[in-house]
Chains A and B, each alone.
Chain A
């Protein structure tokens, strides 16, 4: 391993370059860039991961089909946008259509997720949790492949992001704006707004609704919740549906993002990133998911900046760091930032 490190990560030993970079780090434009991009990424990570947290918190099921659901969301949302938007559609109309797509995708995927839970996962709750994980993994395989078939049959290439859907973004978001001297894509501001809305929405759901209460109670002590006479089975169906719906919204959020975009590969990519966020935050914890998305998002934008300055010439740095963060967190604090020790006994 030492050999690999020595040759693989060509950390520049040029001292002036490091000093120069450090001095540049504390310039307002650099900080603004890292912060705004980081918050934008954090918003995306939050929406992608929060559904996974809800499902795990209550049910103890690590939902491997979460990424596939986000992929479906991206394609369904993309389809709506491509149908609704033409060249002459104005910015406001495009944003309005976007929110229509969010609502539509949420409705469709919530129904879909509930159906899957009711018909496939419910029969095997009496088995060890591993079988529920395996089942959702199988569902992910099927969904990904069916999507590939449909996308191929419709002449949309399955692997590179679907450019027609990405092109529906209003010019407002694709342009760059000057923030404290740093050119920042408008989309990031939009993502931050959406992220704040999502955090507020999920927080209200968890703290101001009956099912939110069930979920919070269920992630603390599932046996007690059951003993109190709450129909946990029905709560499972609803929460799995909501988790799927949130994954779908996450997919719609990715639709305009140049780093993601609708593609069949999302099924795995989203899943891995959502896992990282959920585990760093602590499985089943809402506060943890918020904190972990901020941590991961800002780390991501910081390492991206680090790479762009030429201090590190290793192109895989952002992805490497994010998975490294996961490993580090599990070593230092296995239950995650806000996690309870041994959540749900899994």
Chain B
């Protein structure tokens, strides 16, 4: 890549990409060509400018996520408030995007990059969630109930890592459908166990809630002023931040704090995938026999990839439990939680790390506008349409009832239809298709694409 020999700093610039695809050799040639057509008179640029340039896509996405609550707040005061609340995902949905996006990314990390479909990934997510809930209730031996959340987060991730090691050690003797099935089997055994495990709570199939009153505090260790409590309706809220007249609600605090956790995890996963280790993962996906023939001990590479993925899935679960202040077997350990991650990964683009995040965004947006609460499309239509239209009979029910039946809470239906259409017509997913369009990892190609339109 157009690295100037006189500028050693360029060497250290990670070849960032919002989607971090590791190209096949053909793509590599392509990007070298592209690199040489990009402006080469960059020797006078300092490293920060180069770094920013390489991470332009990341910065844009982070900025979009950071500004979104502010934009929502502004829209709320304009005449478009009803439209905004009906058609845009609310802040709570955006928090779901964050932790489900992280979970879907961790699923994609192993399934999209090594090609081993992990059908029991919810086992790690659930482990993370239950560690937080049980520890916050003081039910984990040796862990007091007032342990800082950052420590619990790590504990949850490490335990998920260990569970993944144990499951992986047995499962990686198999491949293909058999691998998918044995991971599913393990996850279902744990699910059935937790569902009937009376230690969790009085009604274990309902799960458990965090009994302490205050939120769990997340933040930078040893820096007290940066600690904020997160948790739905139980976290910190800040009024008049920095004297700018901006109020940050408890939900918004959770959003930003959890967003930082997800961001750090994303960059960690991205860094692993861009390392030589990540290249071996892709080699395993493309041709496992050849990777073995080159001399890689593929079993341990698969194990490491699987357990690293379990680690991040554990963090996602822990973040979910801290925010939701509780977990149940059905929303953490169940097969359909893995299925959600799979849907997000396919819609966003499997084999692109950031793709699942966009898949999660799409998933939650759909769920939010078709909500059973009072700010979805159904309510909007009922307010918009005149009363006599609403009471028109359609197939034996009024139009208003019809909306209620086919729209309210029907996100899985439309998601299923869109999922099928994606599998049939957009097999590379959202980000994967964009990547094919611009001819390489989006983050890497974005500067060149922007340059084309600059003059």
Q: Are A149 and B192 within 8 A (Cβ)?
A: no
Q: Mark B162-203, 1 if CB is under 8 A from A, else 0.
A: 000010001101101110011011101100110111110000
Q: Are B405 and A153 within 8 A (Cβ)?
A: yes
Q: How far is the CB of B327 from chain A (nearest CB, A)?
A: 15
Of the candidates B342, B346, B416, the one having the most CB atoms from chain A within 10 angstroms of its own CB is B416
Q: Are B412 and A145 within 8 A (Cβ)?
A: yes
Q: Are A8 and B199 within 8 A (Cβ)?
A: yes
B13 interfacial by beta-carbon distance below 8 Å: no
The 7 residue pairs across chains A and B that have the minimum distance between CB atoms: A141-B416, A316-B196, A145-B413, A138-B420, A142-B416, A326-B185, A323-B188
Q: Are A319 and B192 within 8 A (Cβ)?
A: yes
Of the candidates B181, B397, B406, B417, the one having the most CB atoms from chain A within 10 angstroms of its own CB is B181
Stretch at the interface among A77-85, A123-131, A225-233: A123-131
Q: Are A149 and B410 within 8 A (Cβ)?
A: yes
Q: Mark A127-153, 1 if CB is under 8 A from B, else 0.
A: 101110111011111101110010011
Binding site for A on B (CB under 8 A): 117, 141, 166, 170-171, 173-174, 176-178, 181-182, 184-186, 188-189, 192-193, 195-199, 335-336, 339, 342, 346, 397, 405-406, 410, 412-413, 415-417, 419-420, 423-424, 427
Q: Are A323 and B185 within 8 A (Cβ)?
A: yes
Report the bound CA distance from A6 to B406 in whole Å: 47
Return the chain B residue nearest A56 by Cβ. Answer: B177
A320 interfacial by beta-carbon distance below 8 Å: yes
A330 interfacial by beta-carbon distance below 8 Å: yes
Q: List 18 A-B contacts (CB under 8 A).
A: A4-B193, A124-B423, A127-B427, A129-B176, A131-B427, A133-B177, A140-B416, A141-B413, A141-B419, A142-B420, A149-B406, A149-B413, A283-B177, A319-B192, A320-B193, A323-B192, A326-B185, A346-B177
A166 interfacial by beta-carbon distance below 8 Å: no
A298 interfacial by beta-carbon distance below 8 Å: no
Given contact pairs A334-B178, A346-B177, enumerate 20 new A-B contacts (beta carbons under 8 Å). Answer: A3-B141, A4-B197, A7-B197, A8-B197, A138-B417, A149-B410, A149-B413, A152-B405, A272-B335, A283-B177, A314-B196, A316-B192, A320-B192, A320-B196, A323-B185, A323-B192, A324-B185, A327-B182, A330-B178, A330-B181
Q: Are A130 and B424 within 8 A (Cβ)?
A: no
Return chain A residues, CB-CB under 8 Å to B173.
331, 334
Known: A131-B423, A272-B188. A330 touches B196 (CB 8 A): no
* Interfacial residues of chain A within 256-287, with CB under 8 A of chain B in the complex: 268, 272, 275-276, 279, 283
A120 interfacial by beta-carbon distance below 8 Å: yes
A315 interfacial by beta-carbon distance below 8 Å: yes
Return chain A residues, CB-CB under 8 Å to B174.
330, 334
Q: Are B413 and A142 within 8 A (Cβ)?
A: yes
Q: Are A326 and B181 within 8 A (Cβ)?
A: yes
Known: A7-B199, A315-B196, A327-B186. A141 touches B335 (CB 8 A): no
Return the chain A residue nearest B414 by Cβ. Answer: A145
Return chain B residues, CB-CB under 8 Å to A138.
416-417, 419-420, 423
Return the chain B residue nearest A132 by Cβ. Answer: B423
Return chain A residues, CB-CB under 8 Å to B184.
272, 275
Q: Are B416 and A123 within 8 A (Cβ)?
A: no
Q: Are B420 and A8 within 8 A (Cβ)?
A: no
A42 interfacial by beta-carbon distance below 8 Å: no
Q: Are A320 and B189 within 8 A (Cβ)?
A: yes
Report the bound CA distance from A139 to B421 in whole Å: 10
A59 interfacial by beta-carbon distance below 8 Å: no
Main secondary structure of the interface of B (DSSP, over half): helix
Q: How far is the CB of A277 from chain B (nearest CB, A)?
A: 12
Return the chain B residue nearest A123 by Cβ. Answer: B424
Return the chain B residue nearest A318 by Cβ. Answer: B192
Report the bound CA distance from A257 to B106 in whole Å: 40
Interface size, chain A (Cβ < 8 Å)? 47
A62 interfacial by beta-carbon distance below 8 Å: yes
Known: A123-B424, A320-B193. A275 touches B181 (CB 8 A): yes
Return chain B residues, CB-CB under 8 Å to A130.
117
Main secondary structure of the interface of A (DSSP, over half): helix
Return the chain A residue nearest B186 by Cβ. Answer: A327
* Interfacial residues of chain A within 269-323, with CB under 8 A of chain B in the complex: 272, 275-276, 279, 283, 314-316, 319-320, 323
Return the chain B residue nearest A7 by Cβ. Answer: B199
Return chain B residues, CB-CB under 8 Å to A7.
197, 199
Return chain A residues, CB-CB under 8 Å to B336.
268
Return the chain B residue nearest A8 by Cβ. Answer: B197
Q: Are B423 and A134 within 8 A (Cβ)?
A: yes
* Interfacial residues of chain A within 1-42, with CB under 8 A of chain B in the complex: 1, 3-4, 7-8
Report the bound CA distance from A78 to B67 in whole Å: 53
Q: How far is the CB of B308 from chain A (nearest CB, A)?
A: 20
Report the bound CA distance from A129 to B397 in whole Å: 43
Return chain A residues, CB-CB under 8 Å to B416.
138-142, 144-145
Return chain A residues, CB-CB under 8 Å to B397.
153
Return chain A residues, CB-CB under 8 Å to B188.
272, 319, 323, 326
Return chain B residues, CB-CB under 8 Å to A127.
427
Known: A127-B427, A152-B405, A316-B196. A139 touches B189 (CB 8 A): no
Return chain B residues, CB-CB under 8 Å to A141.
412-413, 415-416, 419
Report the bound CA distance from A315 to B185 in whole Å: 19
Q: How far is the CB of A229 from chain B (nearest CB, A)?
A: 28
Q: How far is the CB of A188 from chain B (nearest CB, A)?
A: 24
Known: A279-B181, A323-B185. A135 touches B410 (CB 8 A): no
Return chain A residues, CB-CB under 8 Å to B199.
4, 7-8
Q: Mark A46-63, 1 if CB is under 8 A from B, else 0.
A: 000000000000000010
Q: How far is the CB of B361 from chain A (nearest CB, A)?
A: 19
Known: A124-B424, A142-B420, A330-B182. A323 touches B413 (CB 8 A): no
Of the candidates A134, A144, A149, A268, the one having the most CB atoms from chain B within 10 angstroms of its own CB is A134
Q: How far is the CB of A6 from chain B (nearest CB, A)?
A: 10
Of the candidates B117, B170, B427, the one having the most CB atoms from chain A within 10 angstroms of its own CB is B427
Return the chain A residue nearest B163 by Cβ. Answer: A1
Q: Are B335 and A268 within 8 A (Cβ)?
A: yes
Return the chain A residue nearest B396 by Cβ. Answer: A153
Q: Are B420 and A316 within 8 A (Cβ)?
A: no
Q: How far is the CB of A180 from chain B (nearest CB, A)?
A: 31
Return chain B residues, CB-CB under 8 Å to A123.
424
Return the chain B residue nearest A5 by Cβ. Answer: B193
Return chain A residues, CB-CB under 8 Å to B196.
314-316, 320
Q: How far is the CB of B7 from chain A (nearest CB, A)?
A: 43
Report the bound CA distance from A8 to B196 in whole Å: 8
Q: How far is the CB of A19 from chain B (nearest CB, A)?
A: 26
Q: Are A324 and B424 within 8 A (Cβ)?
A: no
Return the chain B residue nearest A139 by Cβ. Answer: B420
Return the chain B residue nearest A330 by Cβ. Answer: B182
Report the bound CA distance from A303 to B70 in whole Å: 56
Return chain A residues, CB-CB under 8 Å to B171.
330
Report the bound CA distance from A327 to B190 in whole Å: 12
Report the bound CA distance from A315 to B189 in whole Å: 13
Q: Are B423 and A135 within 8 A (Cβ)?
A: yes
